[in-house]
Amino acid sequence: MPVKSQTELVQFYADWCGPCQAMKPIVAELEKELGDKIKVTRVNIDEDPGEAQKYNVMSIPTFLIKKEGGVKAQLMGMQTKNALKKKLVG
């Protein structure tokens, strides 16, 4: 039986970004709730600008939802926990 690939939530942020900091506990809750169903990767745009450029991240916070090796959704700005969860498991 083929192994289902894990969904990845990539969060682009910066330490100086207020909305990014506000999203931290929401992402942590999702990570805890969804356990091994998702992988969370955080990308600090100040430390890794090349990764942000690769995905044309123009504002933060930005979230990428990657499934089966490709980007399935890109969400910009503050998100509710339910909106992110729906995109991740929906």
Residue 53: CB atoms within 10 Å: 11
Q: Using the 8-state DSSP alphabet, how is residue 55 labeled?
A: T
Nearest-angstrom CA–CA distance, 43 and 13: 6
pLDDT at position 80 over 90:
yes
Nearest-angstrom CA–CA distance, 62 and 77: 6
Residue 12 is assigned to a structural domain of this protein: no
The whole domain housing 23 covers 18-80
Q: Provide the annotated active-site residues.
A: 17, 20
Total domains present in the chain? 1
Nearest-angstrom CA–CA distance, 70 and 49: 20
Amino acid at 49: P
Q: What is the mean pLDDT of residues 17-30?
A: 97
pLDDT confidence of 43, banded at 50, 70, 90? very high
Q: Give the per-residue pLDDT at 36.
A: 87
The alpha carbon of 21 is separated from its chain's Cα centroid by a whole number of angstroms, namely: 13
Residue 4 is assigned to a structural domain of this protein: no
Residue 89 is assigned to a structural domain of this protein: no
Residue 29 is assigned to a structural domain of this protein: yes
pLDDT at position 77 over 80:
yes
pLDDT confidence of 4, banded at 50, 70, 90? low
Residue 10 is assigned to a structural domain of this protein: no
